[in-house]
Amino acid sequence: MQYRAKVTFADLKDNKRLYLAGSIYPREGLKVTYERLAELASSDNPAGFPLIELIAEQPLDTPEQPSKRKTRKRVEKDA
C-alpha cells in the first residue's frame, strides 16, 4: 500500500523525520506497522487530524514489473 502525506508533519516515531505535504509515506527502507498507518491516517494521533491518506492499494506497474496484459501478434496476409 502507498500513502501520501496530506500535510507537512514530523514523524515522531521516525526520529522526527519531516514529511512534506504530497510526499510518499513511509520513506524508503522504513517498515511501519498497520497500527502506525491507521494512527496516522486517522485523528487518533498527537496532531488530532489525519496526516496521511491511502493513494494505492498495490504498487503500480514499473518497467521492472511489466503488466501481464497479452498483446496480439500482427499477422501479415498474402496479397
Which tens digits make up the pLDDT trace of 29-44? Answer: 999 999 999 999 999 9
How many domains does one find in the chain? 1
Task: Please report which confidence band the pLDDT of residue 56 belongs to, taking 50, 70 and 90 as the band edges.
Answer: confident
Coil, strand or helix at 19: strand
The three grid cell numbers given for residue 29, joined into one nine-digit string: 527502507
User: What's residue 60's pLDDT?
Assistant: 54
Task: Please report which confidence band the pLDDT of residue 3 belongs to, taking 50, 70 and 90 as the band edges.
Answer: very high
More confident residue, 62 or 26: 26
By the 10 Å C-beta count (0-12 exposed, 13-18 middle, 19+ buried), 24 is classed as: middle
35-43 LR contacts (CB < 8 Å, sep 24+): 37/1, 37/3, 40/3, 40/11, 41/3
Domain that holds residue 7: 2-56
In a domain, 63, yes or no: no
In a domain, 36, yes or no: yes
Is residue 1 scored above 70 in pLDDT? yes
